[in-house]
Amino acid sequence: KINGERLWDSLMEMARIGATEKGGVCRLALTDLDRQARDLFVKWCKEAGCTIRIDKMGNVFARRAGKDNSLAPVMTGSHIDSQPTGGKFDGAYGVLCGLEVIRSLNDMKYETLRPIEAIIWTNEEGSRFAPAMVASGVFAGVFDLDYGLGRADQDGKTMGEELKRIGYYGDDEVGGRPVHAFFEAHIEQGPILEAEKKKIGIVQGAQGQRWFEVVFTGQEAHAGPTPMKVRKDALVGAAQVIAAINQIGHDNQPFACATVGMINSSPNSRNVIPGKVFFTIDLRHPDDKILSKMAAEAKAACEAAVKKNMLEMDFKEIWYSPPVKFDQDCVAAVKKGAEELGFDNLDIISGAGHDACYMNRVAPTAMVFIPCEGGISHNEIENATKEDCRDGCDVLLRAMVERANA
Amino acid sequence: KINGERLWDSLMEMARIGATEKGGVCRLALTDLDRQARDLFVKWCKEAGCTIRIDKMGNVFARRAGKDNSLAPVMTGSHIDSQPTGGKFDGAYGVLCGLEVIRSLNDMKYETLRPIEAIIWTNEEGSRFAPAMVASGVFAGVFDLDYGLGRADQDGKTMGEELKRIGYYGDDEVGGRPVHAFFEAHIEQGPILEAEKKKIGIVQGAQGQRWFEVVFTGQEAHAGPTPMKVRKDALVGAAQVIAAINQIGHDNQPFACATVGMINSSPNSRNVIPGKVFFTIDLRHPDDKILSKMAAEAKAACEAAVKKNMLEMDFKEIWYSPPVKFDQDCVAAVKKGAEELGFDNLDIISGAGHDACYMNRVAPTAMVFIPCEGGISHNEIENATKEDCRDGCDVLLRAMVERANA
Ligand SMILES: NC(=O)NCCC(=O)O
Ligand SMILES: NC(=O)NCCC(=O)O
């Protein structure tokens, strides 16, 4: 059994780095706050006797030796970057569960056959640098290193530059080494476990995602003397699309999600017809066919708005993460852990993408979900109970030990 | 007759201050660039023998003495602040026409009975500081001084602070002195004169305006695991309103204009359901009754979106500028000037607000419009011909001299 108090204390200490007034966290990828959070994790892992390695994507690997260190490790981990108005648990919980598993094994003086690694994956959120899960993606060979290091934020700063600036551009090549199994513990970030009164989600896989960037260009003109019928209002076009995207989500139930999360309008002046609007589209569905159909509907909505408002359009798909099905043995190990501990559990599909989705391509992978309050995440009020945090980590420990001795 | 080359050269020299790559001007109110433009105008006016006075709203009055300086002056002027992506002519044309009238009277050694004043009005655009025409509004007693000095930009800096910073918080009280007549020359900023092949617009008045600020608050949540039906998406609500506002413009033809020029969405992250959106609404109509009806329709559209998307709303009308009818004698003076010079002219209603709209409350007022290319303004490509600029200024000169000798 892990130490629930210690896990909670570590979570709360980590949450101070980038703490917001409303009780959340703003710790964008590769900022100074991200560095502080990494430094703290590295310090704790060293104190727990781990060796630390860092790769060229800034992924941090804390290794606890096993009986046979020539064998491929069992890994766990998540991310410590957050949304601009994020919560204390999204990501940090999975990272600190890795640390807690190692600390608990130390307490028990338990030696696994295989080495164990607890990991921080760089820039999982995709908020400062799009897309999401970039660095686990490079580890898994989904993206090449240049692509990963070249991702730029809104100010044009790249991940490569920022990794060097904060001192986390490591020596190790990214990926290309055998991994026996990967597990990730995470809050659900949705309402299902809470609604169903289940403590543990046995994650079967994740829905697919498609991300788009759209720029509409019309013509800036004066909001007063410019007749309605000659206007080329890029924001009116974008608004029609945003309403349509929302409708696409509703039309493709069950399961579909469709979101415009970001919009920048220019020149953004009260009495000027907007001449240029940038916005993003995030489409999700567990069924790849329906996801493709939603993408076609989204594109058609953009084309209709362009035509109706006499605009020009730049429409780019910037990310496609297909639906994921996790490894049956690893999923079974999670299920077994939950059952042995007597926890009510539920098979579930992740609505969010996770580093586990990419790790699943290069290693047998599964995830452990715990409930979060009201199903709310990507929000400063995100919350989870101390007990659920403890219990999810206990399930993780069992699944990892099982695989680490196999 | 005025000197068209000199007027054009001054316009082009002024346009260098804040010049943008695309040939426009970015000279936001009370920035360092605004100060440079003011300094240049003041220098030119002093060279033309004027005395300069500055009031507490930063309005600049350059006075050319008349035969009887105890009489109320005839004034002209406009603004030199611009939109973020504005043009060379909007405002600056009217300011430099004032200077050119004075220079021409000097050339002709012509002494008017009444003194003449050429004016820069502070912050006419309402882009950095809302609403528009703030400082002429204080001069005209529409707003009190505290309101004017207290207008804040997006960073919370007030007009009072910024006036002091750039050294244009003057000694004079604002307004409260007799004005015999006020004239403003301006580009039309719309397509009518060009379409009708007329050189001069005899401005009869201006349409009414109502400006609103709306904040929608929903709930930030994860774009992946949050089911469509529980979402409180503030941006979807705003999008529905933006589409509805555009429809209100179309539904209230002829004449109606309805625009959402500004939108800020928060947290503005691709995979977060937007929790808070700020946007503005600008409604215009020459008929006050229809304008009120449009305002009611806009409010109803906001309320419908709030209900549909489970949002909360803060809805504020921040500005109401009723339809304006200019003084018949001043309008006749403009018409007479245009006719004497043999210029094709057209009675026209201004689609934009102008400082003349507020001056009309405290002095007999009229305006002179000249065409602009394609009717485009509030755009870096805004353009007007040298000949039209000259001819409009000639009409202004005649109207002013007529009133200054009356
Ligand atoms: N877990 C999580 O918030 N991941 C970010 C990527 C996504 O939007 O699904
Ligand atoms: N002339 C002009 O652009 N004025 C700004 C106020 C308005 O939007 O009408």
* pLDDT bucket at B347, cuts 50 / 70 / 90: very high
* E strand residue ranges, A224-378: 257-259, 263-266, 272-273, 276-285, 312-321, 324-325, 345-350, 365-370
Q: What is the pLDDT of residues A256-266, one digit of tens each?
A: 999 999 999 99
pLDDT value at B406 more than 90:
no
Residue to mutate (ligand 1; options B271, B272, B273; most atoms within 8 A of CB): B271
Q: Please say whether the beta carbons of B151 and B134 come within 8 A.
A: yes
Q: How high is the pLDDT of residue A247?
A: 98
pLDDT value at B232 more than 90:
yes
Which B-chain residues 32-61 have CB contacts (< 8 A) with chain A?
none
Q: What is the mean pLDDT of residues A119-129?
A: 98
Q: How high is the pLDDT of residue B394?
A: 98
Cβ atoms within 10 A of the Cβ of A167, count?
A: 12
**Which residues lie closer than 8 Å to B300 by C-beta, 6 or more apart?**
none
Half-sphere exposure of A214 (CA within 13 A, CB side): 32
Q: Please say whether the beta carbons of A87 and A99 come within 8 A.
A: no
CA of B109 vs chain A CAs: smallest distance (Å):
39
Instruction: Say which DSSP state B373 is in.
Output: G
Residue to mutate (ligand 1; options A125, A350, A357; most atoms within 8 A of CB): A125
Best of B220, B232, B367, B372 to substitute, by most chain A Cβ atoms within 10 angstroms, is B220
In A208-277, where does DSSP find H-type helix? 234-251
User: What average pLDDT is seen over chain A?
Assistant: 98
Cβ atoms within 10 A of the Cβ of A340, count?
A: 12
Residue type, A236: V
Q: Please say whether the beta carbons of A380 and A87 come within 8 A.
A: yes
Q: What is the mean pLDDT of residues A368-397?
A: 98
Residue to mutate (ligand 2; options B79, B88, B128, B133; most atoms within 8 A of CB): B133
Q: Please say whether the beta carbons of B366 and B334 come within 8 A.
A: yes
Q: Is B338 exposed, middle or buried (0-12, 13-18, 19+ CB in 10 A)?
A: buried
Pull the structure tokens for residue B180.
Answer: 């015999």
Q: Please say whether the beta carbons of B71 and B114 come within 8 A.
A: yes
Q: What atom of ligand 2 comes closest to residue B284's alpha carbon?
A: 9
d(C-alpha A167, C-alpha A170), whole Å? 8
Judged by CB atoms closer than 8 Å, whether chains meet at B376 and A262 is answered as: no
Q: What is the pLDDT of residues A11-49, one digit of tens each?
A: 999 999 999 999 999 999 999 999 999 999 999 999 999
Q: Please say whether the beta carbons of B236 and B309 come within 8 A.
A: yes
Q: Which ligand is nearest to the CA of B223?
A: 1
- Give the residue on A whose Cα is nearest the Cα of B239: A239
Cβ-Cβ contacts under 8 Å, B282 against chain A: 223-224, 270-271
Total residue count of chain B as it appears in this document: 406
Q: What is the mean pLDDT of residues A275-290?
A: 98
Judged by CB atoms closer than 8 Å, whether chains meet at B272 and A261 is answered as: yes
Q: What is the pLDDT of residues A301-317, one digit of tens each?
A: 999 999 999 999 999 99
pLDDT value at B272 more than 90:
yes
Pull the structure tokens for residue B78.
Answer: 């406009």
Q: What atom of ligand 2 comes closest to residue A224's alpha carbon?
A: 9
A323 in contact with chain B, both atoms CB, cutoff 8 A: no
Which B-chain residues 182-221 have CB contacts (< 8 A) with chain A?
188-192, 207, 209, 211, 219-221
Q: What is the pLDDT of residues B304-323, one digit of tens each?
A: 999 999 999 999 999 999 99
Cβ-Cβ contacts under 8 Å, A91 against chain B: none
B84 in contact with chain A, both atoms CB, cutoff 8 A: yes
* pLDDT bucket at A406, cuts 50 / 70 / 90: confident
**What percent of chain A is predicted at pLDDT more than 70?**
100
d(C-alpha A2, C-alpha A305), whole Å? 55
